[in-house]
Amino acid sequence: MPTFSADVNLESVVYLQTLKAKLEWKHFERLMKIDNPTLHSFVAKYIDLCQPEQVYVSAGTDEDIEYIKQAAIRDGEESKLATKGHTIHFDNYYDQARDREHTVILVEKGLNLGFGIRTGKREELLKEVHEILKGIMKGHPLYVCFYSLGPVDSIFSIPAVQLTDSSYVAHSENILYRQGYNMFVKQGKSARFLKFVHSQGELDERKTSKNLDKRRVYIDLEDEAVYSTNTQYGGNTIGLKKLAMRLTINRASKEGWLTEHMLLMGIHGPNNRVTYFAGAYPSMCGKTSTAMMEGETLVGDDIAYLRRVDGEVRAVNVEKGVFGIIQGINSKDDAIQWEVLHSPVEIIFSNVLVTKDGDVYWDGHDGPVPLNGINHSGEWYIGKKDKEGKVIPCSHPNARFTVELKYFRNLDRSWDDPRGVPLKAIVYGGRDSDTSVPVEQSFDWTHGIITKGAALESETTAAVLGKEGVREFNPMSNLDFLSIPISRYVEDNLRFGEGLSNPPLIFGVNYFIRGGRGEYLTDKKDKRVWFKWMELRVHKDVEAIKTPTGMIPIYEDLKSLFAEVLNTEYPINLYEQQFTIRARENLAKINRITKIYSTIEGTPPILFKVFEEQKKRLLDAQARFGDYISPLKLA
């Protein structure tokens, strides 16, 4: 018989009575094993409000994980495919991406988080979402699942509890996150946990969310809770991913660490040396292809926590799996991902085409497009149109796969180290056709955070947004997920480097620079050379050329690396084209970025000072050498 703490108040007793009435004894016992009345009252509150048919409390055992996986098939949220371990999930045709309009950070009346951050009145919107949640789980099971963001039993660990009536969501999170039930038991009353409440709502005949007009994603910073209703798409429902980022960015800001939208990887240097890098890239800028580079090792592909430990920066992958975009993955360009996706391991595919043989096909897959099949629109055939007259592709551009990291052959052996990996470099990369060189080191931490991170821009692509070449401002590639003002976020990053005797070096990369005829000046594989050069710079193994905007490689060093890494020649005229400093375009960028920051309240004055100094260096060099400055003139 569970025992209850003497300090349990009358309100908690009422909640305990609710739990006793609604939970089978096994699940009640599991919940009571966690000595945390706040947790008990939270779970009971939403059982009362949402009225599920039954409640399953997961302790994260193999039996629990298997039960939820099979429930997703029994409930019809997933279906088996021909390959063992593979399942398919479809979202509603109009529920295929993050709902930006209805994703709102709840704030007290009068508080404004500023540029680009959607907020709403906390009291008013909490009332609204709780009205939507009333009785929403009737006829559905409720899964109570416990997770750890970051490695278990680590200074990075953040406990989280997910309430959901979707077996697909619970299954996905079991793949993506470390189990945290035992951590809750161990921490008891001291557990400071994040809370997630999700309901897919009423389902249609295809078992997809029906009432999209009541789709809501509300993020309550005060209570560190997220509410998600009438949606199944992972970006709106897998609470521990980008929704949790808003909560932990806010928490990190208060506590002096960082939550970043960054990959983590080990770059392998001379004499079996491994140097750990973080990298932030906006969408369609090469983040995944970088994380999966041949010859290097993967720690994480999406979200990282960074802390200062004993005078150095250490970082962890928040997750243990990948919720990846599948469009364009093929055997030639993406060998590692291709291998995993064609292995008989546990994978959830979402919104791809299922062929008559029970295989999957997506846009960019090897081979011809099948003539017909089943996809996110139902029965599909080439040329099918939706009710708006738009041709439906075989797979949605945002189609995904969910799989554990352990199946990737390039996984780094330290990926789950509770101490994190020692971070020696941070890389910022955007899609830039005319301004930045392929790789460049900043002068110092402050210069790097401001001119590489806070100034990050990316050009849109016609294939995605229908309007090519528009530069979008996206500081540290984290704008979509900020829950604090941009000015405070930049200040947090600047302060993070203070007091470090040897802070990570900061680099900018650009895989998309073009020549005068519009041709790309770099190849997809060239990034392998840029990272090898950066690794050498971290260890002071090579010198660099100082330019007005940063430090760039010496030709002879790159020539050697191209021969060693890619077994190819590297002509000096190509080097000169790639690394020409484009003074006019760089000056235009400074004007664009400083104009934006001049409208952002509280921008640190150092930002304007650093840009003014860079502007002066560019103007001086422009006066000496002209608009386009050959690196050979600066050597």
State the pLDDT confidence band at 582, using cuts at 50, 70 and 90: very high
pLDDT at 413 over 60: yes
The secondary structure of residue 555, as a DSSP letter, is H
For residue 101, CA distances in Å to 56, 93, 119, 215 come to 32, 17, 10, 10
Residue among 205, 266, 209, 269 nearest 234 (CA): 209
The domain defined by 10-58+105-255 folds into Phosphoenolpyruvate Carboxykinase; domain 1 (3.40.449)
State the pLDDT confidence band at 101, using cuts at 50, 70 and 90: confident
Tokens in use for 209?
A: 């969310």
The answer to whether the CB of 199 falls within 8 A of the CB of 283 is no
Q: Report how far residue 360's alpha carbon sits from residue 88's, in angstroms, rounded to the nearest whole number.
A: 9
Q: Report how far residue 497's alpha carbon sits from residue 10's, in angstroms, rounded to the nearest whole number.
A: 48
Instruction: State the pLDDT at residue 322.
Output: 96
With H, G, I as helix, E, B as strand and everything else as coil, classify residue 225.
strand
pLDDT at 556 over 50: yes
pLDDT at 5 over 50: no
Instruction: State the pLDDT at residue 45.
Output: 96
Q: Which residue has the higher pLDDT, 68 or 102?
A: 68
Instruction: State the pLDDT at residue 8.
Output: 47
Instruction: State the pLDDT at residue 3.
Output: 45
Instruction: State the pLDDT at residue 12.
Output: 62
Half-sphere exposure of 287 (CA within 13 A, CB side): 23
- Residues 247/251/253/255 CA torsion (nearest 10 deg): -170
Instruction: State the pLDDT at residue 125.
Output: 97
pLDDT average, residue stretch 501-520? 95
Instruction: State the pLDDT at residue 466.
Output: 46
Q: Enumerate helices (H) and strands (E) in the chain, giving the number of each.
A: 20, 33
pLDDT at 111 over 80: no
Tokens in use for 121?
A: 């009145």
pLDDT tens digits for 428-482? 999 999 999 999 999 999 999 999 999 999 997 643 434 557 899 999 999 999 9
Q: Based on C-alpha coordinates, what's the Rg of the chain?
A: 25
Region of residue 450 (left: phi > 0; alpha: psi -120 to 50; beta: else): alpha
Tokens in use for 452?
A: 């590489």
**If you classify domain 259-320+416-634 with CATH, what class do you get?**
alpha beta
The residue annotated as part of the active site, out of 50, 145, 285, 394, is 285
pLDDT average, residue stretch 502-526? 95
How far from the centroid of its chain's Cα atoms is residue 392's Cα?
27
CATH 3.40.50.1820 fits 323-407, yes or no: no
Biggest CA-to-CA distance, the chain: 83
Residue 409, classified by CB atoms within 10 Å of its CB into exposed (0-12), middle (13-18) or buried (19+), is exposed
Residue among 168, 556, 88 nearest 347 (CA): 88
State the pLDDT confidence band at 186, using cuts at 50, 70 and 90: very high
Q: What is the DSSP string of 566-622?
A: I-----HHHHHHHT-EEHHHHHHHHHHHHHHHHTSTT--HHHHHHHHHHHHHHHHHH
Region of residue 136 (left: phi > 0; alpha: psi -120 to 50; beta: else): alpha
Q: Report how far residue 261's alpha carbon sits from residue 602's, in angstroms, rounded to the nearest whole number.
A: 23
Other beta carbons less than 10 A from residue 204's beta carbon:
10
Q: Report how far residue 285's alpha carbon sits from residue 431's, in angstroms, rounded to the nearest whole number.
A: 5
The pLDDT > 70 percentage for the chain reads 96
Q: Report how far residue 27's alpha carbon sits from residue 33's, in angstroms, rounded to the nearest whole number.
A: 10
Least confident among 101-110, 347-356, 455-464, 502-511:
455-464
Instruction: State the pLDDT at residue 114.
Output: 82
How do strand 505-509 and strand 158-164 relate by DSSP bridges?
A: unpaired
Instruction: State the pLDDT at residue 98.
Output: 83
pLDDT average, residue stretch 501-525? 95
Instruction: State the pLDDT at residue 409.
Output: 96
What is this structure's pTM?
0.94
Half-sphere exposure of 135 (CA within 13 A, CB side): 0
pLDDT at 534 over 60: yes
pLDDT tens digits for 309-363? 999 999 999 999 999 999 999 999 899 999 999 999 999 999 999 999 999 999 9
Residue among 517, 432, 426 nearest 476 (CA): 426
Q: Where in the chain is the domain with CATH 3.90.228.20?
A: 259-320+416-634
Q: Report how far residue 554's alpha carbon sits from residue 490's, in angstroms, rounded to the nearest whole number.
A: 31
Q: Where in the chain is the domain with CATH 3.40.449.10?
A: 10-58+105-255
Give the mean pLDDT of the chain: 94
How far from the centroid of its chain's Cα atoms is residue 206's Cα?
29
The angle, 0 to 180 degrees and rounded to 10, between the axes of the packed helices 25-32 and 10-22 is: 150
Instruction: State the pLDDT at residue 112.
Output: 80
Ramachandran angles phi, psi of 249, nearest 5°? -60, -40
Q: Which residue has the higher pLDDT, 97 or 317?
A: 317
Q: Which helix (H) or strand (E) holds 330?
A: none
pLDDT tens digits for 138-168? 999 999 999 999 999 999 999 999 999 999 9
pLDDT at 103 over 80: yes
Q: What is the DSSP string of 363-412?
A: TT-SSPPPSEEEETTEEEETT-B-TTSPBPPSS-TT-EEEEEGGG-TTB-
pLDDT tens digits for 113-137? 887 789 999 999 999 999 999 999 9
Region of residue 207 (left: phi > 0; alpha: psi -120 to 50; beta: else): left
The secondary structure of residue 562, as a DSSP letter, is I
Tokens in use for 28?
A: 């009640």
Q: Specify whether 285 is catalytic.
A: yes
pLDDT average, residue stretch 395-420? 97
Other beta carbons less than 10 A from residue 48's beta carbon:
15
How do strand 312-317 and strand 304-309 relate by DSSP bridges?
A: antiparallel
pLDDT average, residue stretch 547-561? 98
Q: Where in the chain is the domain with CATH 2.170.8.10?
A: 323-407
With H, G, I as helix, E, B as strand and everything else as coil, classify residue 312.
strand
Residue among 527, 506, 507 nearest 578 (CA): 527
Q: Report how far residue 560's alpha carbon sits from residue 512's, in angstroms, rounded to the nearest whole number.
A: 23
Q: Report how far residue 250's alpha carbon sits from residue 222's, in angstroms, rounded to the nearest whole number.
A: 10
Tokens in use for 477?
A: 């590639």
